[in-house]
Amino acid sequence: MPDIEELIRLAVRARDRAYAPYSNHPVGAALVTDAGEVFTGCNVENAAYPLGNCAEQSAIAAMVLGGGRTIRELVVVGPTDAPCTPCGGCRQRIREFAGPDALVHACNERGVLLTMTLDDLLPESFGPENLNPRKS
Q: List residues with catalytic annotation.
A: 56
Is 43 labeled as ligand-binding?
A: yes
| Phi, psi (deg, nearest 5) at residue 39 | -130, 145
Is 64 labeled as ligand-binding?
A: no
Is 24 labeled as ligand-binding?
A: no
Is 49 labeled as ligand-binding?
A: yes
Is 48 labeled as ligand-binding?
A: yes
Residue 44 makes CB contacts below 8 A (sequence gap 6+) with 18, 19, 52, 53, 58
Where would I find the beta strands (DSSP E) of 61-127? 71-77, 98-108, 111-117
Is 42 labeled as ligand-binding?
A: no
CA 62 and chain centroid, separation: 11
Binding residues for Zn(2+): 54, 87, 90
Binding residues: 43-49, 54, 87, 90
